[in-house]
Chains A and B, each alone.
Chain A
Amino acid sequence: MWLSYELKVVTTVVKKELVLYFRYPVWVLFDALMPLLWVLSLVIYGMALVGSSYSNNLARLTNTGDYISFTVVGMIVSSFAYSTLWGMSYALRGEQWSGTLESTFLTPCSRFSILLGKALSSMLTTSVWVIVQITLVTLLLGLRINFINLPLALLFFLISLPSFIGIGFSLAGIVLDFKEHSAFVNFLSSLLGLLLPISYPLNILPPFLRYFSYALPPTYAIEGMRSLLVMGCSLSELIGLIIPLVFFDFFWLIAGVTIYLVEERKVLKNGTLGYY
């Protein structure tokens, strides 16, 4: 009974977010175009350096020299990670801006259902644009990915999702308290852009930076899905990535819920819930 109510809240939030999203058509158009532009600029930059879509140096560092597939898969996985993280961190801040946070918090449902609904709607729109992206990059640049491994890649993504959601809970709480969502997102985007193996392999990073990369769940998600979709690995070969991911799932879910609750209590004590 409780679970069905909270699940209904999640789907209701998803529906509301999607309706609101499509009420801003210019935003939708830019959302569709921007990831494609990012991918294209990275791919063209790489091709200019290497001279073709195949890099001997990349092949030496990883198990593939296909620079386009390497980068596109990195971008796709990071897009999902970002959409979960930013979707959740902006979730309550956006409601603060629009003035609807207090009316939402006055309802008896769980705050985490609201946050999950926000994350799911963000991921749904990202999925649509990723499909458009893959189709266009395949047609324009000859993307070669192992489509047979797609279900396994989705399974791998589902394994990494709880850790993303846990980090999202903590970001939602921190932004609810400190308010400055843009500052957090801009900084974290730049930091993750450096530390995650999106368009280059991790072993090219200085060793001390690699430690930070390995502390981030999206690193394992990108490496795992790239291994499945580009290198054609099997799931059993990725056990070294799955074990830390499962650990991160538990760690971040517990840490995320705790951080969110601490921050929410602080905001309720300060009386700044509705402040923007």
Chain B
Amino acid sequence: MQDYSIITKEISKAYRKGEGGFPFKRKSQKTIVALDNVNLSIGRGELFGLLGPNGAGKTTLIKILSTLIIPDAGTALVNGYDVLKEPGKVRASIGVVSSGERSLYWKLTARENLEYFARLYKVPDEVAKRRIRELLSLIGLEDRADDLVEKYSSGMRQKLSLVRAILHDPEILLLDEPTLGLDPGFSKSIRSFIREELNKKQGKTILLTTHYMEEADQMCDRVAFINKGRIVAVDTPERLKTMIGKKEVLKVVVEELGDSVLNVVKTLPFLEDYRVTGMEQSSRKTVRMYMKNVDAHIQEIVESFSKAGCRIISLSVEKPTLEDVFINLTGEALGDEY
């Protein structure tokens, strides 16, 4: 029987948003389903990705697993402890990083922050001092240890948040969009630290939420797609990509994509499916066209766009990505733009 670090059992959560509030009676209430009957099992030592668009329910699930939100139905076992019955033991077993920059005290230095949280996490002072020194050195912040956090860049603060999360050497890490808003250099070093150091070397179980498909593809042993609170598919990135069949993807970036163009595209007999993405306000759109044997049809596609009066900016043949699988399963894109 496989050893699981995290098991969720039919977790559901809805938020009720209404106008007015205490002491006034609420006029109307709108229910937003954040999680709908979520069942997941994450093995010990696994790096598991939860991939979905903004508002899919990723953060809610992380917060339920970290005891910061109580679910409406269902429960979860984290390191064998029930999040509803043994929240203290759950918190001692996990380290959590969220995408926000403000989870540290900006008017304290990095060292003061870490010493403070180490004591709250019950780490003996001598052990804490050694671990803080080692971890700051590992992420390249040892020279800035005594600077106030307010003087740090966003990337440095995110690295420091990671160190805070692993100070007490937890078995499980819950990382909620850990690279959101960071520049590519910092994102790469944080991804590498998570994958190589924390997962492969230290053997920690990691649940990572992201809406960056490359991040999930490169880092995760298994990925779950989540959309509108429901788990749509769970498997390894490689197997998920085979779900799309032998189709290839032709990515066409165009200007002024009108209905007349789409009507022409739809009639192409070899086209199995297509999706249009792009910012609503922008005239530039991306059409991802799914078909077999792209090379044989490129000429015809270019002519169809031209005849419909649509200017092609770029055209490329790509292998199916996790995003393509997600689009095929849900009909929705992970983000506004590729």
Contact = CB atoms under 8 A, between A and B. Distances in A.
Contacts of A269: 69-70
B120 A271 contact: no
Interface stretch (B98-106, B217-225, B251-259): B98-106
Nearest to A22: B107
Contact of A271 (B63, B92, B105): B63
A108 B88 CA distance: 5
Given A12-B116, A107-B91, A107-B120, A268 B68 contact: yes
Nearest to A5: B122
A108 B92 contact: yes
B104 A9 contact: no
A19 B112 CA distance: 9
B107 to A, nearest CB: 4
B243 to A, nearest CB: 33
B100 A99 contact: yes
A99 B103 contact: yes
Interface residues of A, number: 28
Contacts of B96: 103, 106
B102 to A, nearest CB: 3
Given A16-B105, A108-B92, A271-B15, A103 B69 contact: no
B212 interface: no
A20 B70 contact: no
Given A9-B120, A108-B122, A271-B63, A178 B22 contact: yes
A107 B121 contact: yes
B182 interface: no
A14 to B, nearest CB: 11
B60 interface: yes
A99 B108 contact: no
A98 interface: yes
Contacts of A109: 120, 122
Contacts of A247: none
Given A103-B117, A178-B22, A20 B98 contact: no
B117 A107 contact: yes
B129 interface: no
Interface in A81-106: 98-100, 102-106
Given A98-B102, A271-B13, A9 B69 contact: no
B54 to A, nearest CB: 16
Interface string B67-105: 111100000000000000000110110101010111111
Given A103-B104, A108-B92, A178-B22, A16 B116 contact: yes
Contacts of B100: 99
Contacts of A8: 119
Contact of B66 (A16, A20, A99, A106): A106
Contact of B68 (A16, A24, A105): A105
B101 to A, nearest CB: 8
Most buried by B among A12, A103, A270: A103
A24 to B, nearest CB: 8
Interface of B: 13, 15, 22, 34, 60, 63, 66-70, 88-89, 91-92, 94, 96, 98, 100-108, 112, 116-117, 119-122, 164
21 contacts: A5-B122, A12-B116, A16-B105, A16-B116, A19-B108, A98-B102, A98-B106, A99-B103, A100-B104, A102-B103, A103-B104, A105-B67, A105-B68, A106-B66, A106-B67, A108-B92, A108-B120, A109-B120, A109-B122, A265-B70, A273-B69
Closest 8 pairs between A and B when the two form their complex, measured CB to CB: A99-B102, A107-B120, A108-B92, A12-B119, A103-B103, A23-B107, A108-B91, A268-B70
